Copies of this chain bind each other. A is one copy, B any other.
Amino acid sequence: ADLLPEEQCRIHDLIRKSSYEAGEVIFRPGDETVDFFLVSLGRVKIAKLSPEGKIQLLRLLGVGDFFGELSVFAGEEFLPYQAEALSEVHLCRIKRTDMETLLDRTPILAWKILAAMAGRLREAERLIEHLGLRDVRGRLAAVILDLFRQAGKMTDGSVIPFAWRQKDLAEYLATTQESVSRKLGQIEQAGIIRLTAEHEMILLDHDRLEALALDSPME
């Protein structure tokens, strides 16, 4: 997040732009590319697909987030995941060779990208922790707790935006939409959080949310 301001897209002649409509698939797993993709508008869903079409959501990207790091930095030319536009999406595309030029010109960029990748790695490892050590209710509570924590709003009464669709949340937590809906309802009815019609989430009982996230009654 916050990697490159949108203005840089216009300044640098190294960058090409492309745009996509909501629902459009930007890349399919196995598609070839040597580009670095920076989101300058909209939301992009990055996911793995199983042969039967089941989806494991890896992350949702917003403005300032990027993908394609594997082809640019590790020299792999085939994206191992799907990228799908969740809204109107504008991307800035930078070729691998141009990325080298760009990093040479602006060394501070390397640090920014390293910071962003360290953050992404932390989030991927959090998801591994959720999937490996928690049942569905615990995963959901842990993800909600993470959202409040990342926003720095850990006190009762705190309000954060909550843009997750239940479908995406189910694909992220490796469960069904019904299960997400039921557990979310239970956490809300217990007076721990409240969801508003304006896609906001209110924290009502931090201590019990933390207890739910820590309590991992698997097996």
Measured CB to CB, the residues of A under 8 A from B are 48, 50-52, 54, 56, 58, 69-70, 72-76, 80-81, 100, 103-104, 107, 110-111, 113-115, 117-122, 124-129, 131-134, 174, 214-216, 218
Copies in the complex: 2
In the complex, A67→B52 CA distance in Å? Answer: 36
Residue in B72, B104, B118, B131 whose CB lies within 8 Å of A174: B131
Interface of A is mostly: helix
Q: Is the CB of B51 within 8 A of A125?
A: no
Q: Is the CB of B56 within 8 A of A133?
A: yes
Chain B residues lying within 8 Å of A72, measured Cβ to Cβ, are 118
Once A110-B114, A117-B114, A122-B74 are accepted as A-B contacts, the answer to whether A128 and B58 lie under 8 Å apart by CB is: yes
In the complex, A103→B54 CA distance in Å? Answer: 42
Q: Is the CB of B48 within 8 A of A132?
A: yes
